[in-house]
Chain A
Amino acid sequence: PKRFLQMLLPGPGRQPEGSLDGGATRAFSKRVLTWRLVGEAFSSQLSVAEQRYIFRLAFRMWSEVTPLDFQEDLTAPGAVVDIKLGFGRGRHLGCPRVFDGGGQEFAHAWRLGDIHFDDDEHFTPPSSDMGISLLKVAVHEIGHVLGLPHTYRTGSIMQPNYAPQETAFELDWSDRKAIQRLYGSCEGSFDTAFDWIRKERTPYGEVVVRFSTYFFRKSWYWLYENRHNRTRYGDPIQILIGWRGIPTQNIDAFVHIWTWKRDVRYFFKGNQYWSYDSEEDQAHTADERGRRYPRLISEGFPGVPSPLDTAFFERRQQLIYFFQESLVFAFDVNRNRLLSSYPKKITKVFPAIVPQNHPFRNIDSAYYSYAHNSVFFFKGNAYWKVVNDKDKQRNSWLPSNGLFPKKSISEKWFDVCDVHMSTLNM
């Protein structure tokens, strides 16, 4: 009881959680938070493994939309674990707020990170459509511990009343923006970004071309759903799981050569490159002449150095631009050789529109976006957009291939957030 009493006293400048004039308030200043299902407070309704899995998933769902990472900690002294979860009935766990039995109040969260679930409720796993989804309640209560108050906005996970879920629930746009107002957007550099083009046949037999946007970082990746302004639910995923036969981390570049005669996709890492089979969704083992992959970049692209920083295919010119350090190499895919006037300084080929506002060297990724019909240079948290035809039509004075001043990647592509390694392959 002493433990909870001192939590009720509002901290300096803080309202006790849930006070009538409270609002959203950031609760933690560090980036990695630890949590634990308290050993003497397991539920009697689900296996301990299932309870822990559900909580791990609940934390992961917040981690997918915030810069926070959550790690289950089973060894540190209880007092240093940031968020402790436990089940109890009636008078429980030394908590001054007594549970009322099955129905009505099903859980509550305390300001300093304790979350209690009323074990008189019928909590069920995500796969069940009976009872009360433990996952949904856990995501709600974690939202409180992170600083979010109740809202009656339809669709929000922070509504005070439990809404039986029709489909698998996710954090919607407004909940994401609410938590990002407290903890900021997700930043970080990418190893490569690209649009994956694929042809599909509609039920009426027409061939349509669709594209998906991918962001790669270290050993994981996100699919970005441009029409929903967010990453795919459940991402990031390990590269190992989603892409068969290419290196499982730290990809340098991706290039899709797409002309009337060719439709090939290459991944580059170090001094080698891999060809990827879109139909079979795996890397080729050999090319049409039987030469095995991976192959040396110096063999497949004579004159191109390695390792590369990045590369992209310019479809109209049918050139691949390879980037290394402060230089860019233009490679003619039809003659299979470098243009004679290359390499050149990146700043010469892609001049800054605003002086000194330029990535200069070591570009993380040169990404042609079909959603925006533009090339973007990514470096660190920033992107520079390359002048395209539409820009030129509007302002003819713009230099060809000029770079607009840098902006923040997280202001254009939302919710590309890391998760803790321990939850990466959930």
Chain B
Amino acid sequence: ETLFHSRDHSDLEPSSPLRQAKPIADIPAAQRFLSRYGWSGAQAAWGPSLGGPPEATPGAALAEAVRRFQQANRLPASGELDAATLAAMNRPRCGVPDTRLPPPAAQTPPPPGLLHRAR
């Protein structure tokens, strides 16, 4: 049997072309997002995705996690799940959790005149 597949192929989702990700539109979904991508939650940021509701993140902790996410995305750090924040959560992204951003000084400034040109 090939390396990845379970014997009964139960790990293969029947391919349904119309599968769309559920929009993140409410607090539980936002909590799942923040926990999945390392912005909050005791659960290891990079652990198996558990189907059930995330550990309930108390209000203050949730607001703090939202604030951190907003700062990283250059949104007003209100701690509120406003429309712009939810939109940022719904953008196409990589599944690897985010890490704490290096302090701005850590970035070596590129030399002047760097242009991005086609290959």
**A149 in contact (CB, < 8 A):** yes
Q: How far is the CB of B116 from chain A (nearest CB, A)?
A: 6
Bound-state Cα–Cα, A97 to B110, Å: 36
Partner of B114, one of A120, A132, A228: A228
Taking a contact as CB atoms under 8 Å apart, the answer to whether B98 and A89 are in contact is no
Sorted nearest first, the 4 A-B pairs with minimum C-beta distance are A90-B13, A108-B95, A96-B48, A173-B110
Known: A20-B100, A170-B119, A174-B108. A91 touches B46 (CB 8 A): no
Q: Is A78 an interface residue (CB 8 A)?
A: yes
Contact between chains at A174 and B44 (CB < 8 Å):
no
Q: How far is the CB of B17 from chain A (nearest CB, A)?
A: 8
Given A119-B15, A120-B19, A161-B93, decide whether A18 and B5 contact each other with a Cβ distance below 8 A.
no
Verify A108–B13 contact, CB threshold 8 A. no
> In the complex, what distance in Å separates the CA atom of A132 from the CA atom of B25?
23
A21 CB within 8 Å of chain B: yes
Does the CB pair A152–B96 fall under 8 Å? no
What does the 1/0 interface line of A247-270 toward B look like (CB < 8 Å)?
000000000000000000000000
Which residue of B has the minimal Cβ distance to A121?
B92
A335 at the interface (CB under 8 A from B): no
A162 within 8 A of B: yes
Q: Mark A365-381, 1 if CB is under 8 A from B, else 0.
A: 00000000000000000
Report yes or no: B45 in contact with A86, Cβ–Cβ below 8 A.
no
Q: Please indicate which of the listed interface residues B2, B94, B114 has the most CB atoms of chain A within 10 Å of its own CB.
A: B94
For residues 22 through 70 of chain B, which have their beta carbon under 8 Å from a beta carbon of chain A? 22-24, 37-38, 44-49
Binds B, one of A98-106, A214-222, A292-300, A401-409: A98-106
A89-B92 in contact (CB<8A): no
CA distance A149 to B45 in the complex (A): 13
Give 1 or 0 for each of A138-173: 1 = CB within 8 Å of chain B CB. 001100100001111101000011100001111011
Stretch in contact with the other chain, from A33-41, A187-195, A347-355: A33-41
User: In the bound complex, what is the Cα–Cα distance between A100 and B13 (angstroms)?
Assistant: 11
B85-119 contact mask (Cβ, 8 Å, vs A): 1 or 0: 00010111111111111100001101101111111
A107 contacts partner chain B, Cβ-Cβ < 8 Å = yes
Q: Check A20–B99 contact: CB distance below 8 A.
A: yes
The answer to whether B99 and A104 touch across the interface, beta carbons within 8 angstroms, is no
Query: Which residues of the partner chain A approach B102 to less than 8 Å between Cβ atoms?
Result: 23, 151
Nearest chain B residue, comparing its CB with the CB of A144: B96
Q: How far is the CA of A136 from the CA of B38 in the complex (A)?
A: 23
Cα separation A40 to B44 with both chains bound (whole Å):
30
B96 touches A108 (CB 8 A): yes
A228 contacts B115, C-beta separation under 8 Å: yes
Docked complex Cα distance between A169 and B119 (Å): 8
Q: A308-324 vs B: 1/0 string, CB under 8 Å?
A: 00000000000000000
A177 CB within 8 Å of chain B: yes
Contact of B11 with A by CB under 8 A: yes
Main secondary structure of the interface of B (DSSP, over half): loop
How far is the CB of A51 from the nearest CB of chain B, in Å?
16
The answer to whether A229 has its CB under 8 Å from any CB of chain B is yes
The CA-CA distance from A19 to B99 in the complex, in Å, is 6
Total contacting residues, chain A, CB less than 8 A? 72
Interface size class of B (residues with CB under 8 A): 35 or more
| Interface positions of B (Cβ within 8 A of A) | 2-6, 10-13, 15-17, 19-24, 37-38, 44-49, 72-74, 88, 90-102, 107-108, 110-111, 113-119
CB of A234 closer than 8 Å to a CB of B:
yes
Does A19 lie within 8 Å of B11, measured CB to CB?
no
A227 interface residue (CB < 8 Å to B): yes
Q: Is the CB of B95 within 8 A of A105?
A: yes
Contact across chains for B21 and A160 when beta carbons are under 8 A apart = no
Which residues on A sit within 8 Å (CB–CB) of B119? 168, 170, 233-234
Determine the distance from Cα of A38 to Cα of B2 in the docked complex, in whole angstroms.
10
Q: In the docked arrangement, what's the CA distance between A99 and B118, Å? A: 33
Does chain B have a CB within 8 A of A137?
A: yes
Q: Is the CB of A19 within 8 A of B96?
A: no
- In the docked arrangement, what's the CA distance between A1 and B49, Å? 12
- With A23-B102, A89-B19, A174-B110 known as contacts, the answer to whether A108 contacts B94 (CB < 8 A) is yes
Known: A106-B92, A172-B116. A8 touches B107 (CB 8 A): no
Determine the distance from Cα of A169 to Cα of B116 in the docked complex, in whole angstroms: 8
What are 12 sample pairs from A and B whose C-beta atoms fall under 8 A apart? A4-B48, A8-B48, A18-B99, A93-B4, A97-B49, A100-B21, A106-B93, A108-B94, A152-B72, A161-B93, A233-B117, A234-B119
Q: Is A415 an interface residue (CB 8 A)?
A: no
B99 A23 Cβ-Cβ under 8 A? yes
Q: Are B5 and A94 neighbours in the complex by a CB distance under 8 Å?
A: yes
A184 to chain B, nearest CB (A): 15
A150, B96: Cβ atoms under 8 Å?
Answer: yes
Residues of B near A89 (CB, < 8 A) are: 13, 15-16, 19
Q: Identify 19 new A-B residue pairs, CB closer than 8 A, beyond the known A39-B2, A89-B15, A102-B19.
A: A3-B4, A18-B38, A18-B99, A19-B99, A20-B97, A21-B100, A88-B13, A94-B4, A94-B6, A96-B47, A97-B48, A103-B90, A108-B95, A152-B73, A153-B107, A160-B94, A161-B93, A174-B108, A174-B110
